[in-house]
Structure 1
Amino acid sequence: MAPAIALTIAGSDSSGGAGIQADLKSFSALGVYGASVITAITAQNTHGVEAIEPVSPAMISAQIDAAFSDLDISAIKIGMVGGVEAIEAVAARLRHHLAARSTPIVLDPVMIAKSGDVLLPSEAISALRENLLPLASLLTPNLPEAADLLGIQQAKTHDELRNQGQALLALGPRHVLLKGGHAAGKTCTDLLLGEDEMALCAPRIHTKNTHGTGCSLSSAIAAGLASGMSMTKAIRQAHDWLHCAILAADDLNVGSGHGPVHHFHAMWSKA
Structure 2
Amino acid sequence: MTTPCVLVFAGLDPSGGAGIAADIGAIAAQGAHALPVVTALTVQDNNRVHEVVPVNTALLARQAAVLVERFAVKAVKIGIPGSRANAEAIAAVLALLRARDPALPVVLDPVLASGHGDLLGHGDALHALAPLLALATVLVPNLPEAGRIGPLPGAHVLVTGGHGAGDAVRNDWHGAGGEARSWSWPRLAGQFHGSGCTLAAAIAARLARGDGVEQALERAQAYCHAALAQSFAIGPGQRIPRRQPAFETIPFETPHPTTGAMQP
8 Å CA contact 1:45, 1:255 repeated in 2 = no
State the match for 1:263 in structure 2: 243
Answering whether residue 89 of structure 2 is matched by residue 89 of structure 1, we say yes
Amino acid at match of 2:117: G
State the match for 2:180 in structure 1: 197
Residue range with higher mean Cα deviation, 67-76 or 114-123: 114-123
Amino acid at match of 1:182: H
CA distance in 2, matches of 1:186, 1:137: 30
Once the two structures are TM-superposed, the CA of residue 122 in structure 1 deviates from its matched residue by 5.0
Residues 159-197 of structure 1: CA deviation (Å, up to 9, x unaligned): xxxxxxxxx223xx4211111111111111100112232
CA distance in 2, matches of 1:73, 1:6: 6
Aligned-pair identity (%)? 37
Q: Which runs of 5+ in 2 are unaligned?
A: 250-264
State the match for 2:164 in structure 1: 183
Once the two structures are TM-superposed, the CA of residue 93 in structure 1 deviates from its matched residue by 2.0
CA distance in 1, matches of 2:99, 2:71: 16
8 Å CA contact 1:110, 1:120 repeated in 2 = no
State the match for 2:212 in structure 1: 230
8 Å CA contact 1:211, 1:260 repeated in 2 = yes
Give secondary structure in 2 for the equivalent of 1:81.
Answer: coil
How many residue pairs were aligned?
Answer: 245
Answering whether residue 197 of structure 2 is matched by residue 215 of structure 1, we say yes
Amino acid at match of 1:56: N
Once the two structures are TM-superposed, the CA of residue 265 in structure 1 deviates from its matched residue by 7.3
State the match for 1:5 in structure 2: 5
8 Å CA contact 1:176, 1:193 repeated in 2 = yes
State the match for 2:261 in structure 1: none
Q: TM-score, normalised by structure 2?
A: 0.88
- Relative distance call for 1:233 and 1:53 in structure 2 (3 A) is same
8 Å CA contact 1:248, 1:265 repeated in 2 = no
Once the two structures are TM-superposed, the CA of residue 124 in structure 1 deviates from its matched residue by 4.3
Structure 1 segment 8-157 matched on structure 2, within 5 A: 8-101=8-101, 102-129=103-130, 131-150=131-150
Q: TM-score, normalised by structure 1?
A: 0.85
Amino acid at match of 2:152: L
- Relative distance call for 1:12 and 1:122 in structure 2 (3 A) is same
CA distance in 2, matches of 1:201, 1:61: 39
Give secondary structure in 2 for the equivalent of 1:200.
Answer: strand
Residues 195-248 of structure 1: CA deviation (Å, up to 9, x unaligned): 23211111111123x100000000000010010000010110011111111111
8 Å CA contact 2:171, 2:182 repeated in 1 = yes
Match 2:233 to one of 253, 263, 268: 253
8 Å CA contact 2:11, 2:41 repeated in 1 = yes
CA distance in 2, matches of 1:213, 1:90: 23
8 Å CA contact 1:245, 1:265 repeated in 2 = no
Amino acid at match of 2:127: S
8 Å CA contact 1:213, 1:242 repeated in 2 = yes
Amino acid at match of 1:228: G
CA distance in 2, matches of 1:186, 1:257: 21
CA distance in 2, matches of 1:97, 1:228: 17
Once the two structures are TM-superposed, the CA of residue 127 in structure 1 deviates from its matched residue by 4.4
Amino acid at match of 2:174: L
Amino acid at match of 2:198: S
Give secondary structure in 1 for the equivalent of 2:100.
Answer: coil
